[in-house]
Amino acid sequence: MTPGPSLHASLRDAAMAVGAVARGRSLASGYPKAAAADAPSSRPALLDLIHGTLRAYGRLPAITRGMATKGAIDPLVEALLWCSLYALESGRYADYTVVDQSVRACEALGKGQAKGFVNALLRRYLRERNALEARIASAQEVRHQHPAWWIDMLQRAWPGDWERILVAGNQPPPMTLRVNRHHGTRDAYLARLRDAGLDATIVGEAALRLHAPCPVDRLPGFDAGDVSVQDAGAQRTAPLLEAQDGMSVLDACSAPGGKCAHLLELADVRMLAIDVDEARAARIRQNLDRLKLRAEVRSADCTRPDDWWDGRAFDRILADVPCSGSGVARRHPDIKWLRRPGDLDRFAAKQGAILDALWRLLAPGGTLLYVTCSVFPEENEAVVEAFCRRTPEARPLALPDGLPPGLPPGPDRDGFFHARLGRAA
Protein backbone atom coordinates (compact mmCIF):
# COMPACT_ATOMS: atom_id res chain seq x y z
CA MET A 1 0.00 0.00 0.00
CA THR A 2 1.48 3.35 -1.01
CA PRO A 3 2.06 5.67 1.99
CA GLY A 4 0.49 8.84 0.67
CA PRO A 5 0.48 12.17 2.47
CA SER A 6 -2.85 11.30 4.11
CA LEU A 7 -1.56 8.37 6.20
CA HIS A 8 -1.86 10.56 9.28
CA ALA A 9 -5.54 11.14 8.39
CA SER A 10 -6.10 7.39 8.07
CA LEU A 11 -4.37 6.84 11.41
CA ARG A 12 -6.50 9.58 12.96
CA ASP A 13 -9.76 8.11 11.70
CA ALA A 14 -8.72 4.54 12.49
CA ALA A 15 -7.92 5.59 16.06
CA MET A 16 -11.38 7.12 16.38
CA ALA A 17 -13.07 3.94 15.10
CA VAL A 18 -10.94 1.53 17.17
CA GLY A 19 -11.32 3.74 20.23
CA ALA A 20 -15.10 3.59 19.81
CA VAL A 21 -14.95 -0.23 19.73
CA ALA A 22 -12.87 -0.18 22.91
CA ARG A 23 -15.72 1.83 24.48
CA GLY A 24 -18.28 -0.79 23.39
CA ARG A 25 -19.53 0.63 20.07
CA SER A 26 -19.71 -1.50 16.93
CA LEU A 27 -18.10 -0.63 13.61
CA ALA A 28 -21.57 -0.97 12.09
CA SER A 29 -22.45 2.36 13.70
CA GLY A 30 -20.29 3.93 11.01
CA TYR A 31 -16.71 4.95 10.40
CA PRO A 32 -15.72 8.42 11.60
CA LYS A 33 -15.84 11.27 9.17
CA ALA A 34 -12.55 12.92 8.28
CA ALA A 35 -11.74 15.58 10.82
CA ALA A 36 -10.06 17.87 8.29
CA ALA A 37 -11.30 18.50 4.76
CA ASP A 38 -7.77 19.05 3.51
CA ALA A 39 -6.60 15.67 4.78
CA PRO A 40 -9.19 13.04 3.85
CA SER A 41 -8.69 9.39 4.69
CA SER A 42 -7.85 6.90 1.99
CA ARG A 43 -10.66 4.34 2.38
CA PRO A 44 -8.55 1.21 1.60
CA ALA A 45 -5.83 2.38 4.00
CA LEU A 46 -8.42 3.24 6.64
CA LEU A 47 -10.17 -0.12 6.45
CA ASP A 48 -6.85 -1.95 6.57
CA LEU A 49 -5.79 -0.04 9.68
CA ILE A 50 -9.11 -0.56 11.47
CA HIS A 51 -9.54 -4.24 10.65
CA GLY A 52 -5.87 -5.09 11.05
CA THR A 53 -5.71 -3.39 14.45
CA LEU A 54 -8.85 -5.15 15.68
CA ARG A 55 -7.56 -8.53 14.50
CA ALA A 56 -4.46 -7.91 16.63
CA TYR A 57 -6.37 -6.36 19.53
CA GLY A 58 -5.55 -9.26 21.83
CA ARG A 59 -1.93 -8.15 22.05
CA LEU A 60 -1.62 -4.48 21.12
CA PRO A 61 -3.00 -3.13 24.42
CA ALA A 62 -0.61 -5.42 26.28
CA ILE A 63 2.29 -3.87 24.37
CA THR A 64 1.29 -0.24 24.93
CA ARG A 65 0.52 -0.72 28.60
CA GLY A 66 3.77 -2.60 29.06
CA MET A 67 5.69 0.41 27.74
CA ALA A 68 3.75 3.14 29.56
CA THR A 69 5.29 3.54 33.00
CA LYS A 70 3.57 6.75 34.17
CA GLY A 71 -0.05 5.74 34.69
CA ALA A 72 -2.99 5.37 32.33
CA ILE A 73 -2.77 6.52 28.73
CA ASP A 74 -5.38 8.85 27.25
CA PRO A 75 -7.87 6.42 25.57
CA LEU A 76 -7.75 8.12 22.17
CA VAL A 77 -3.97 8.36 22.22
CA GLU A 78 -3.76 4.69 23.16
CA ALA A 79 -6.06 3.78 20.27
CA LEU A 80 -3.74 5.73 17.97
CA LEU A 81 -0.78 3.78 19.31
CA TRP A 82 -2.54 0.47 18.61
CA CYS A 83 -3.17 1.53 15.02
CA SER A 84 0.40 2.76 14.65
CA LEU A 85 1.81 -0.51 15.98
CA TYR A 86 -0.29 -2.43 13.47
CA ALA A 87 0.94 -0.11 10.70
CA LEU A 88 4.53 -0.87 11.71
CA GLU A 89 3.89 -4.61 11.75
CA SER A 90 2.02 -4.63 8.45
CA GLY A 91 5.16 -3.88 6.44
CA ARG A 92 3.18 -1.54 4.19
CA TYR A 93 5.01 1.55 5.32
CA ALA A 94 8.53 2.50 6.25
CA ASP A 95 9.08 2.67 10.02
CA TYR A 96 10.05 6.35 9.93
CA THR A 97 6.90 7.14 7.95
CA VAL A 98 4.64 5.53 10.54
CA VAL A 99 6.34 7.34 13.41
CA ASP A 100 6.21 10.71 11.63
CA GLN A 101 2.58 10.29 10.52
CA SER A 102 1.50 9.09 13.97
CA VAL A 103 2.91 12.24 15.52
CA ARG A 104 1.00 14.30 12.93
CA ALA A 105 -2.15 12.31 13.75
CA CYS A 106 -1.88 13.45 17.38
CA GLU A 107 -2.36 17.03 16.25
CA ALA A 108 -5.27 16.04 14.00
CA LEU A 109 -6.95 14.31 16.96
CA GLY A 110 -6.61 17.39 19.15
CA LYS A 111 -3.98 15.61 21.24
CA GLY A 112 -0.96 17.72 20.36
CA GLN A 113 0.37 17.45 23.90
CA ALA A 114 0.90 13.71 23.33
CA LYS A 115 3.21 14.05 20.30
CA GLY A 116 6.39 13.51 22.27
CA PHE A 117 4.89 10.58 24.15
CA VAL A 118 3.72 8.85 20.95
CA ASN A 119 7.06 9.46 19.26
CA ALA A 120 8.96 8.02 22.24
CA LEU A 121 6.80 4.90 22.62
CA LEU A 122 6.90 4.00 18.94
CA ARG A 123 10.66 4.43 18.79
CA ARG A 124 11.03 2.35 21.93
CA TYR A 125 8.92 -0.38 20.36
CA LEU A 126 11.18 -0.41 17.29
CA ARG A 127 14.24 -0.76 19.54
CA GLU A 128 12.84 -3.34 21.95
CA ARG A 129 10.28 -5.17 19.83
CA ASN A 130 11.55 -8.69 20.48
CA ALA A 131 11.81 -8.24 24.23
CA LEU A 132 8.40 -6.59 24.47
CA GLU A 133 6.76 -9.35 22.45
CA ALA A 134 8.46 -12.09 24.49
CA ARG A 135 7.19 -10.52 27.72
CA ILE A 136 3.54 -10.96 26.76
CA ALA A 137 3.75 -14.07 24.56
CA SER A 138 2.45 -16.54 27.16
CA ALA A 139 -0.93 -14.81 27.61
CA GLN A 140 -3.77 -16.76 26.00
CA GLU A 141 -5.45 -13.71 24.44
CA VAL A 142 -2.13 -12.60 22.99
CA ARG A 143 -1.40 -15.97 21.39
CA HIS A 144 -4.83 -16.40 19.85
CA GLN A 145 -6.08 -12.81 19.41
CA HIS A 146 -9.50 -13.68 20.88
CA PRO A 147 -11.07 -13.10 24.32
CA ALA A 148 -10.27 -15.79 26.87
CA TRP A 149 -13.93 -16.79 27.35
CA TRP A 150 -14.33 -17.22 23.57
CA ILE A 151 -11.24 -19.45 23.42
CA ASP A 152 -12.51 -21.56 26.34
CA MET A 153 -15.90 -22.09 24.71
CA LEU A 154 -14.33 -23.13 21.41
CA GLN A 155 -12.06 -25.60 23.18
CA ARG A 156 -15.11 -27.29 24.70
CA ALA A 157 -17.26 -27.19 21.56
CA TRP A 158 -14.59 -27.99 18.95
CA PRO A 159 -11.84 -30.00 20.75
CA GLY A 160 -10.22 -31.03 17.46
CA ASP A 161 -10.71 -27.81 15.53
CA TRP A 162 -10.63 -24.90 17.97
CA GLU A 163 -7.14 -23.71 17.02
CA ARG A 164 -7.96 -23.74 13.30
CA ILE A 165 -11.15 -21.77 14.01
CA LEU A 166 -9.16 -19.14 15.89
CA VAL A 167 -6.58 -18.92 13.11
CA ALA A 168 -9.35 -18.47 10.54
CA GLY A 169 -10.93 -15.77 12.68
CA ASN A 170 -7.74 -13.74 12.49
CA GLN A 171 -7.39 -13.87 8.71
CA PRO A 172 -8.81 -11.46 6.14
CA PRO A 173 -11.95 -13.07 4.68
CA PRO A 174 -12.12 -14.46 1.15
CA MET A 175 -14.19 -12.66 -1.50
CA THR A 176 -16.54 -15.21 -3.01
CA LEU A 177 -19.01 -14.76 -5.85
CA ARG A 178 -22.33 -16.43 -6.61
CA VAL A 179 -23.10 -16.70 -10.31
CA ASN A 180 -26.72 -15.94 -11.24
CA ARG A 181 -27.83 -19.08 -13.08
CA HIS A 182 -30.52 -17.06 -14.89
CA HIS A 183 -27.74 -15.14 -16.65
CA GLY A 184 -25.15 -17.83 -17.33
CA THR A 185 -23.12 -20.72 -15.99
CA ARG A 186 -20.42 -20.72 -13.35
CA ASP A 187 -17.77 -21.94 -15.80
CA ALA A 188 -18.69 -19.31 -18.37
CA TYR A 189 -18.41 -16.60 -15.74
CA LEU A 190 -15.04 -17.96 -14.62
CA ALA A 191 -13.83 -17.43 -18.20
CA ARG A 192 -15.17 -13.86 -18.11
CA LEU A 193 -13.23 -13.21 -14.92
CA ARG A 194 -10.01 -14.47 -16.49
CA ASP A 195 -10.60 -12.29 -19.55
CA ALA A 196 -10.88 -9.36 -17.13
CA GLY A 197 -7.57 -10.27 -15.49
CA LEU A 198 -9.16 -11.72 -12.34
CA ASP A 199 -8.17 -15.17 -11.07
CA ALA A 200 -10.66 -17.34 -9.19
CA THR A 201 -11.15 -20.90 -7.93
CA ILE A 202 -14.35 -22.94 -8.06
CA VAL A 203 -15.60 -23.60 -4.52
CA GLY A 204 -19.24 -24.59 -5.11
CA GLU A 205 -21.93 -25.18 -7.68
CA ALA A 206 -22.33 -21.45 -8.25
CA ALA A 207 -19.41 -20.23 -6.17
CA LEU A 208 -16.09 -18.73 -7.27
CA ARG A 209 -13.49 -17.52 -4.77
CA LEU A 210 -11.39 -14.65 -6.06
CA HIS A 211 -7.67 -15.01 -5.46
CA ALA A 212 -7.59 -11.34 -4.50
CA PRO A 213 -10.52 -9.11 -3.49
CA CYS A 214 -11.50 -6.34 -5.87
CA PRO A 215 -14.12 -3.56 -6.08
CA VAL A 216 -17.44 -4.86 -7.40
CA ASP A 217 -17.30 -2.47 -10.34
CA ARG A 218 -14.42 -4.59 -11.68
CA LEU A 219 -16.63 -7.68 -11.80
CA PRO A 220 -17.97 -8.32 -15.31
CA GLY A 221 -21.72 -7.86 -15.44
CA PHE A 222 -22.15 -6.97 -11.76
CA ASP A 223 -24.49 -4.05 -12.44
CA ALA A 224 -26.46 -6.26 -14.84
CA GLY A 225 -27.04 -8.84 -12.10
CA ASP A 226 -24.81 -11.56 -13.53
CA VAL A 227 -23.09 -12.17 -10.22
CA SER A 228 -23.33 -11.39 -6.49
CA VAL A 229 -20.85 -11.34 -3.64
CA GLN A 230 -21.77 -14.09 -1.18
CA ASP A 231 -19.62 -16.32 1.01
CA ALA A 232 -19.51 -20.01 0.09
CA GLY A 233 -20.80 -20.95 3.54
CA ALA A 234 -23.83 -18.71 3.03
CA GLN A 235 -24.35 -20.22 -0.41
CA ARG A 236 -24.96 -23.59 1.26
CA THR A 237 -28.29 -22.33 2.62
CA ALA A 238 -30.63 -22.00 -0.35
CA PRO A 239 -30.10 -25.50 -1.82
CA LEU A 240 -30.77 -27.08 1.59
CA LEU A 241 -34.37 -25.82 1.51
CA GLU A 242 -35.04 -27.85 -1.65
CA ALA A 243 -37.65 -25.33 -2.79
CA GLN A 244 -39.55 -26.31 -5.92
CA ASP A 245 -41.28 -24.21 -8.58
CA GLY A 246 -44.66 -22.93 -7.42
CA MET A 247 -43.97 -23.25 -3.69
CA SER A 248 -44.59 -20.42 -1.25
CA VAL A 249 -41.48 -19.43 0.68
CA LEU A 250 -40.92 -17.12 3.65
CA ASP A 251 -37.48 -15.61 4.26
CA ALA A 252 -38.10 -14.42 7.79
CA CYS A 253 -34.90 -12.48 8.61
CA SER A 254 -33.95 -11.62 5.07
CA ALA A 255 -31.74 -8.54 4.93
CA PRO A 256 -29.60 -7.85 3.02
CA GLY A 257 -31.26 -10.45 0.79
CA GLY A 258 -28.43 -12.67 -0.45
CA LYS A 259 -30.08 -15.96 0.55
CA CYS A 260 -33.46 -14.75 -0.69
CA ALA A 261 -31.96 -13.94 -4.09
CA HIS A 262 -30.20 -17.29 -4.24
CA LEU A 263 -33.50 -19.08 -3.58
CA LEU A 264 -35.14 -17.13 -6.42
CA GLU A 265 -32.26 -18.05 -8.72
CA LEU A 266 -32.80 -21.75 -7.95
CA ALA A 267 -36.60 -22.00 -8.23
CA ASP A 268 -39.64 -20.04 -9.39
CA VAL A 269 -41.28 -19.59 -5.99
CA ARG A 270 -43.71 -17.13 -4.41
CA MET A 271 -41.34 -15.34 -2.05
CA LEU A 272 -42.15 -13.15 0.93
CA ALA A 273 -39.01 -11.57 2.40
CA ILE A 274 -39.29 -9.66 5.66
CA ASP A 275 -36.97 -7.78 7.95
CA VAL A 276 -37.80 -5.88 11.10
CA ASP A 277 -35.89 -2.79 9.96
CA GLU A 278 -37.24 -0.75 7.03
CA ALA A 279 -33.80 0.50 5.99
CA ARG A 280 -32.58 -3.09 5.83
CA ALA A 281 -35.71 -4.14 3.94
CA ALA A 282 -34.87 -1.44 1.38
CA ARG A 283 -31.52 -3.16 0.82
CA ILE A 284 -33.33 -6.40 -0.03
CA ARG A 285 -35.33 -4.56 -2.71
CA GLN A 286 -32.18 -2.97 -4.12
CA ASN A 287 -30.39 -6.32 -4.36
CA LEU A 288 -33.35 -8.01 -6.01
CA ASP A 289 -33.74 -5.15 -8.48
CA ARG A 290 -30.11 -5.44 -9.54
CA LEU A 291 -30.52 -9.18 -10.08
CA LYS A 292 -33.86 -8.70 -11.89
CA LEU A 293 -35.63 -10.96 -9.39
CA ARG A 294 -39.09 -10.49 -7.92
CA ALA A 295 -40.38 -10.98 -4.39
CA GLU A 296 -42.75 -9.32 -1.97
CA VAL A 297 -40.61 -7.44 0.55
CA ARG A 298 -41.99 -6.05 3.81
CA SER A 299 -40.71 -4.46 6.96
CA ALA A 300 -42.13 -6.77 9.63
CA ASP A 301 -41.24 -8.52 12.89
CA CYS A 302 -41.11 -12.27 12.35
CA THR A 303 -41.94 -12.89 16.03
CA ARG A 304 -45.28 -11.06 15.61
CA PRO A 305 -46.90 -12.76 12.61
CA ASP A 306 -50.40 -11.63 13.60
CA ASP A 307 -49.32 -8.14 12.49
CA TRP A 308 -48.58 -9.21 8.89
CA TRP A 309 -49.45 -12.85 8.13
CA ASP A 310 -52.49 -13.47 5.90
CA GLY A 311 -53.12 -16.98 7.25
CA ARG A 312 -51.80 -18.89 4.22
CA ALA A 313 -49.17 -21.39 5.28
CA PHE A 314 -45.72 -21.54 3.70
CA ASP A 315 -44.19 -24.63 2.09
CA ARG A 316 -40.69 -23.50 3.05
CA ILE A 317 -39.47 -21.13 5.74
CA LEU A 318 -35.93 -19.82 6.06
CA ALA A 319 -35.06 -18.64 9.57
CA ASP A 320 -31.59 -17.11 9.28
CA VAL A 321 -31.73 -15.83 12.83
CA PRO A 322 -29.80 -13.07 14.63
CA CYS A 323 -26.81 -14.56 16.43
CA SER A 324 -23.39 -13.81 17.89
CA GLY A 325 -21.77 -13.78 14.44
CA SER A 326 -18.93 -15.88 15.82
CA GLY A 327 -18.61 -17.75 12.52
CA VAL A 328 -18.05 -14.55 10.56
CA ALA A 329 -15.86 -12.70 13.05
CA ARG A 330 -13.09 -12.25 10.48
CA ARG A 331 -15.49 -10.11 8.42
CA HIS A 332 -16.46 -8.09 11.49
CA PRO A 333 -13.34 -8.03 13.69
CA ASP A 334 -15.03 -5.87 16.33
CA ILE A 335 -17.51 -8.67 17.14
CA LYS A 336 -15.24 -10.80 19.27
CA TRP A 337 -14.25 -7.84 21.45
CA LEU A 338 -17.83 -6.56 21.86
CA ARG A 339 -19.53 -9.87 22.68
CA ARG A 340 -19.85 -11.14 26.25
CA PRO A 341 -20.60 -14.71 27.43
CA GLY A 342 -24.08 -13.69 28.61
CA ASP A 343 -24.95 -12.57 25.08
CA LEU A 344 -25.31 -16.20 24.00
CA ASP A 345 -28.20 -16.78 26.41
CA ARG A 346 -29.95 -13.66 25.13
CA PHE A 347 -29.45 -14.72 21.52
CA ALA A 348 -30.70 -18.24 22.30
CA ALA A 349 -33.87 -16.87 23.88
CA LYS A 350 -34.52 -14.72 20.80
CA GLN A 351 -33.76 -17.61 18.46
CA GLY A 352 -36.19 -19.86 20.31
CA ALA A 353 -38.90 -17.20 20.17
CA ILE A 354 -38.42 -16.90 16.40
CA LEU A 355 -38.76 -20.66 15.93
CA ASP A 356 -41.91 -20.74 18.06
CA ALA A 357 -43.49 -17.87 16.10
CA LEU A 358 -42.63 -19.23 12.66
CA TRP A 359 -43.55 -22.85 13.24
CA ARG A 360 -47.28 -22.22 13.11
CA LEU A 361 -46.84 -20.59 9.67
CA LEU A 362 -45.42 -23.80 8.17
CA ALA A 363 -47.70 -25.95 6.02
CA PRO A 364 -48.13 -29.69 6.70
CA GLY A 365 -45.32 -31.48 4.88
CA GLY A 366 -43.31 -28.26 4.86
CA THR A 367 -39.70 -27.62 5.85
CA LEU A 368 -38.20 -24.94 8.09
CA LEU A 369 -34.46 -24.31 7.80
CA TYR A 370 -32.79 -22.85 10.90
CA VAL A 371 -29.53 -21.03 10.16
CA THR A 372 -26.93 -19.15 12.18
CA CYS A 373 -23.49 -17.79 11.39
CA SER A 374 -22.34 -18.96 14.82
CA VAL A 375 -19.90 -21.67 15.90
CA PHE A 376 -21.26 -21.87 19.45
CA PRO A 377 -23.56 -24.86 20.26
CA GLU A 378 -25.54 -22.67 22.66
CA GLU A 379 -27.03 -20.93 19.60
CA ASN A 380 -27.16 -23.99 17.37
CA GLU A 381 -27.77 -27.57 18.53
CA ALA A 382 -29.02 -26.44 21.95
CA VAL A 383 -31.67 -24.12 20.46
CA VAL A 384 -32.90 -26.74 17.97
CA GLU A 385 -32.99 -29.51 20.57
CA ALA A 386 -34.93 -27.33 23.02
CA PHE A 387 -37.40 -26.40 20.30
CA CYS A 388 -37.95 -30.05 19.33
CA ARG A 389 -38.55 -31.01 22.98
CA ARG A 390 -41.36 -28.47 23.31
CA THR A 391 -42.70 -29.04 19.78
CA PRO A 392 -43.42 -32.77 19.38
CA GLU A 393 -44.63 -32.40 15.78
CA ALA A 394 -41.26 -31.01 14.69
CA ARG A 395 -38.95 -33.70 13.35
CA PRO A 396 -35.29 -33.18 12.44
CA LEU A 397 -34.51 -33.89 8.79
CA ALA A 398 -31.24 -34.98 7.23
CA LEU A 399 -29.34 -32.37 5.28
CA PRO A 400 -29.41 -33.27 1.58
CA ASP A 401 -25.77 -32.39 0.97
CA GLY A 402 -24.61 -35.00 3.51
CA LEU A 403 -22.42 -32.55 5.42
CA PRO A 404 -22.58 -31.89 9.18
CA PRO A 405 -25.01 -29.19 10.36
CA GLY A 406 -22.18 -27.04 11.69
CA LEU A 407 -19.18 -26.22 9.54
CA PRO A 408 -16.36 -24.11 10.99
CA PRO A 409 -14.77 -21.24 9.10
CA GLY A 410 -12.00 -22.21 6.72
CA PRO A 411 -10.07 -20.87 3.74
CA ASP A 412 -13.09 -21.08 1.41
CA ARG A 413 -16.02 -20.34 3.70
CA ASP A 414 -17.28 -18.69 6.86
CA GLY A 415 -18.71 -20.71 9.75
CA PHE A 416 -22.43 -21.56 9.55
CA PHE A 417 -24.93 -23.91 11.20
CA HIS A 418 -27.91 -25.40 9.36
CA ALA A 419 -30.74 -27.55 10.74
CA ARG A 420 -33.81 -28.73 8.79
CA LEU A 421 -37.09 -29.29 10.61
CA GLY A 422 -40.03 -30.99 8.95
CA ARG A 423 -43.74 -30.90 9.73
CA ALA A 424 -45.71 -34.08 9.15
CA ALA A 425 -48.18 -33.98 6.25
Query: In 3-state terms, the chain is what percent helix, strand and coil (to 5)?
Result: 50, 15, 35
Catalytic pick among 83, 302, 323, 373 = 373
- Is 260 catalytic? The answer is no
Q: Are 396 and 343 contacting, i.e. CB atoms less than 8 angstroms apart? A: no
Cα–Cα distance between 290 and 222 in angstroms, integer? 8
Bond from prior residue into 256 cis (ω within 30 degrees of 0)? yes
Question: What are the CA-CA distances from residue 356 to residues 67, 107, 164, 352, 395 (Å)?
Answer: 53, 55, 34, 6, 14
Q: Are 376 and 153 contacting, i.e. CB atoms less than 8 angstroms apart? A: yes
- Cα distance between the two ends of the chain: 59
Q: Are 133 and 88 contacting, i.e. CB atoms less than 8 angstroms apart? A: no
Cα–Cα distance between 38 and 164 in angstroms, integer? 44
Cα–Cα distance between 215 and 223 in angstroms, integer? 12
- CA of residue 173 relative to chain centroid, distance: 9
Cα–Cα distance between 199 and 212 in angstroms, integer? 8
- Which residues touch 185 (CB under 8 Å, ≥6 apart)? 179
Helix axis angle for 95-108 and 7-22, nearest 10°, is 70
The set of catalytic residues is 373
